[in-house]
Amino acid sequence: MEASRIAQSIGFTLDRFIKNNQEQFQFASGELSQLLRDIALASKVVNREVNKAGLIDIMGPLGSQNMAGDDQQKLDVLADIRFTRALKKGGEVCALISEESESYEDLNNDGKYVIAIDPLDGSSNIDVNVSIGTIFSIFRRISKVGGPIQQEDILQKGSEQVAAGYILYGSSTMMVYTTGHGVNGFTFEQSLGEFFLSHPDMKAPEDGKIYSINEGQANSFPESVKKYVQDCKDNKMTARYIGSLVADFHRNLLKGGIYIYPPTAKDPNGKLRLMYECNALAFISEQAGGMATDGKKRILDIQPTTLHQRVPFFVGSKKMVERAQSF
């Protein structure tokens, strides 16, 4: 987008932007637009709760665990309820896959879309006031609308996504998403309660000097990953690891960098989930000119076999992911 159009387009509300770009959706029947608006609405509600988490009694663990085996924080469960309710009411979604529930949720047999969502990723950071995020993937259902949900609807490859995005509840709250026609970022204006286009046509720097990995687990990294991390140090790169995937991913998308969650002794397939973490960020990264693999294979080409399957995750600036793979 040339500078003049960028200047003109900054300040569009999310609603206006979705409407203006609706004709780009291959199934431009308005439902996908409505779906994105439903997600944005739910994120405004979650944003409000996140912003006052310190003040009302929704802090701390619930004492239950989710599918990832993480202790569920009250805000996790609250966010899951908010997104599920918004998507159920909208009517466009037939099935919902969430980190917070074991099986998929059958929402509306007439819905044309399947959503995979991590309602609140980085939950361990909630109580210490570090940025957290929502990650979502949108697929078209394959089986006949009106009929029962089929396995083929649920376990689709990332390359089948029709849209994907994240909301980052950080120093400002942003929604970044793609429908396969580039990546756009919207910043939430609290007093108006609206998302405004602030980062049109986002592009991942082709190379970068930031690497994000939890080196506390380095002893159990594969040799190739150990070699790559050493290479980053030999090249005097900057280590930045917030421990909140959306925050690390977003910073690296803007500044250039690589995020790695490799196989470890604790998580031999890595810790991150294919369906509702890696697929969405891989789609966004590629749409911005970046790259995402499991260390060997393109994330979007991986055929899921189970809802909560984990994959090793290498994502970010193309040249950095290629170099990491060369080790």
Q: Which long-range contacts (CB under 8 A, 24 or more apart) does 191-196 make?
A: 193/44, 194/13, 194/14, 194/15, 195/13, 195/14, 195/40, 196/10, 196/11, 196/12, 196/13, 196/14
When the beta carbons of 32 and 245 are compared against ligand P6P, the nearer one is 245
Q: How far apart are CA 269 and CA 237, in angstroms?
A: 26
Q: Which of 92, 153, 277, 286 is catalytic?
A: 277
Q: Which of 38, 80, 92, 99 is catalytic?
A: 99
When the beta carbons of 68 and 155 are compared against ligand P6P, the nearer one is 68
189 is catalytic: no
120 is catalytic: yes
When the beta carbons of 124 and 187 are compared against ligand P6P, the nearer one is 124
Helix axes 279-287, 245-255, angle to 10 degrees: 10
**3-class secondary-structure state, position 217:** helix
Give me the least distance between CB of 122 and ligand P6P, in Å please. Answer: 4
* Positions that interact with ligand P6P (CB under 6 A): 121-122, 124, 214, 243-245, 248, 271
Give me the least distance between CB of 310 and ligand P6P, in Å please. Answer: 10
When the beta carbons of 125 and 178 are compared against ligand P6P, the nearer one is 125
99 is catalytic: yes
Q: Which residues 6+ apart lie within 8 Å of 19 measured at CB?
A: 33
Q: How far apart are CA 243 and CA 225, in angstroms?
A: 18
70 is catalytic: yes
- Stretch (H or E) spanning 291: strand 291-293
Q: Which of 76, 80, 153, 294 is catalytic?
A: 76
Give me the least distance between CB of 29 and ligand P6P, in Å please. Answer: 34
267 is catalytic: no
76 is catalytic: yes
Question: Which residues participate in catalysis according to the annotation?
Answer: 70, 76, 99-100, 118, 120-121, 277
